[in-house]
């Protein structure tokens, strides 16, 4: 598809924010909403975006968004979530951090913590926390995914099973209104499930855009985590499920979050 200048910038904005809104784009480009809707229709037909109510989001489906694009998505929101999560982790704690750009943000938020032991299957997390001299980092080795530095497979699983930690901090590629945590790589999912089993408490860190995405492999349920740390109130059906399951929701930036 030969993209016009608007469509190229629309894609850039979608990569930065995860979602674009018709009215906002019309104001940004000083064109009609009908013009923007045509642009979005063409981008969706080309497989670049997926239409949602009021706008469009980056296409996901059965393949994840590229790592470099994910790093730029919802960056400020991820940092706020990470700070809220870090406040819930005391010094001298042991924890798991799994694969994901939000867990990498949590690692950065933990740089001033003292006497931590962190087990991770994320090379990027290990590199970030190497700057914290009082943090012991254990890398759960395995098959490395070059695009994002994730370690997966049977070797990773076996290493994880040797630990019982205070807190697991996990991310997910998508969430649905049934309260399921979803991802793309079944090998990564197996490791995340083992991490949840080997932790006394579990925190999910995920921004609100994850409710607008889909992924084919189920990790667990919000019922299986103690705290869901996010940047905006989830949909009401999800809030009700969390109340029923006793899962706390912490909205970063809100009072106490």
Task: Give the global pTM.
Answer: 0.76
- Residue 256: its pLDDT value, please? 43
- Positions in the chain whose pLDDT score sits under 50: 1-2, 62-63, 255-257
Count other Cβ atoms within 10 Å, centred on residue 64: 19
- Residue 66: its pLDDT value, please? 54
Question: Could you tell me the two tokens for 173?
Answer: 């590629």
Cα-based distances in Å from 43 to 16, 29, 35: 16, 16, 13
User: Which residue, 96, 115, 114, is CA-closest to 106?
Assistant: 96
The predicted-structure confidence for 43-79, as pLDDT tens digits, reads as follows 988 888 888 778 887 765 544 555 555 555 678 899 9
Question: Could you tell me the two tokens for 242?
Answer: 């969390």
User: Which residue, 138, 132, 204, is CA-closest to 168?
Assistant: 204
182: part of which helix (H) or strand (E)?
strand 180-183
Q: Which structural domains are found in the chain, ordered by start?
A: 5-59 (1.10.10.10), 74-251 (3.40.50.1360)
- Residue 30: its pLDDT value, please? 93
- Residue 180: its pLDDT value, please? 97
- Residue 229: its pLDDT value, please? 98
- Cβ–Cβ under 8 Å, residues 82 and 109: yes
Burial of 139 (0-12, 13-18, 19+ CB in 10 A): middle
């Amino acid at each position: 598809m030969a993209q016009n200048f608007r469509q190229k910038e629309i894609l850039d904005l979608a990569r930065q924010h995860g979602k674009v809104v018709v009215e906002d784009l019309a104001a940004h480009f000083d064109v009609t909403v009908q013009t923007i809707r045509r642009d979005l229709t063409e981008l969706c037909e080309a497989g670049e975006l997926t239409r949602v109510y009021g706008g469009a989001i980056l296409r996901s489906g059965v393949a994840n968004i590229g790592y470099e694009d994910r790093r730029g998505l919802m960056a400020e929101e991820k940092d706020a979530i990470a700070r809220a999560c870090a406040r819930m982790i005391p010094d001298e704690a042991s924890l798991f951090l799994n694969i994901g750009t939000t867990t990498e943000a949590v690692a950065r938020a933990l740089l001033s913590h003292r006497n931590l032991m962190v087990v991770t299957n994320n090379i990027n997390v290990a590199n970030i926390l190497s700057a914290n001299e009082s943090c012991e980092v254990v890398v759960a080795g395995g098959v490395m995914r070059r695009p994002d530095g994730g370690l997966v497979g049977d070797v990773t699983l076996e290493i994880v099973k040797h630990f019982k930690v205070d807190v697991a901090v996990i991310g997910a590629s998508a969430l649905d209104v049934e309260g399921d945590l979803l991802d793309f790589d079944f090998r990564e999912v197996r490791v995340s499930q083992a991490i949840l089993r080997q932790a006394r408490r579990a925190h999910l860190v995920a921004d609100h855009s994850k409710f607008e995405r889909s992924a084919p492999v189920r990790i667990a349920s919000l019922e299986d985590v103690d705290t869901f740390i996010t940047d905006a109130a989830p949909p009401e059906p999800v809030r009700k499920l969390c109340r029923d399951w006793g899962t706390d929701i912490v909205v970063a930036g809100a009072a106490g979050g």
